[in-house]
Amino acid sequence: MTETFDPRTVAARLHSLRQAGRQEATDTFALPADLHQAMEAQNLLTAADGISSNAWKVTVSPQGQAVTAPLHPYAEAVSGADIPWYPGLKFETEIAVRLGSDLPVRTGVPYSRTEVLEAISAVYLGAELLISAVKESGSVSFLLFVADRLGNSGYVLGPELEKSVVNTVGGTPLKVTHAGHTIYDGPAQHPKGDVLTWLVDYANDGLRPETSLKAGALITTGTLSGAIELTEPGEIDILLGDIRLSFSVSKA
């Protein structure tokens, strides 16, 4: 795509596609040239979506750059939450953390994992729903995927866990059923091994906004189950060890 990137145009198009539950190919979009442009479009999309929750996802780009996006729609419910289902919707079991103190942007000595852990006041079981308005998600243009809120299309925050879970969750038995069928049954396993890896990376990003990582913010930390496509609407039941989270995805 050779046309000049305009963040307002791209954000409006992403919003329109999301509202319609549609996807279009990367090569039909003008692409952001850098993370600044991608985040500009993401912020405009966030405004168009009317997002006000202080809940975020963190990950890293293929080049190792820490990136974030707001979670929406966002529901805090041990059970009974309902998230819109669209064809192609994917699901991830995750651990979320809430900050009890600020992690301000700082230069010099980077934050240690211990410092980040000390800033966490609570830990939860959660579930992220994912579908991008971009057909290839981030596989062709990760920056366009950043603009599209990293594909987030919903989050359900479940019961609070022991804080030590962030150190011990790897290998914990995890079983997920959807519409009566088992879609995951195995050990919980984060892509980086440590659920705090991407949060620590983001804390140490000197280019992140000054308003980021403030006390009260909720941050989800990455999948424990891989990304699993939900081929139909239906109830989801997650059992991590002996902790359960149940909710449903329904046709919008």
Q: What is the pLDDT of residues 6-45, one digit of tens each?
A: 999 999 999 999 999 999 999 999 999 999 999 999 999 9
**Domain parsing of the chain, residue ranges:** 52-251
Residues 251, 90 contacting (CB under 8 angstroms): no
Report pLDDT for 79: 62
* Percent of the chain residues topping a pLDDT of 70: 98
- pLDDT of residue 2 exceeding 60, the answer is no
Q: pTM of the entire structure?
A: 0.94
Edge-to-edge, what's the strand order for the sheet holding 173-178? 79-85, 243-251, 234-240, 173-178, 181-187
- Mean pLDDT in the chain? 94
Q: Which of 244, 240, 221 is nearest to 120 (CA)?
A: 221
pLDDT grade, residue 78 (50/70/90)?
low
The CATH architecture that domain 52-251 belongs to is Alpha-Beta Complex (3.90)
Structure token pair of residue 160: 């609070």
The predicted structure's pLDDT at residue 77: 77
Which whole number is the average pLDDT over 215-240?
96
Q: What average pLDDT does this structure show over 168-194? A: 97
Strands 234-240 and 173-178: antiparallel
**Res. 1 pLDDT band, cuts 50 70 90:** very low
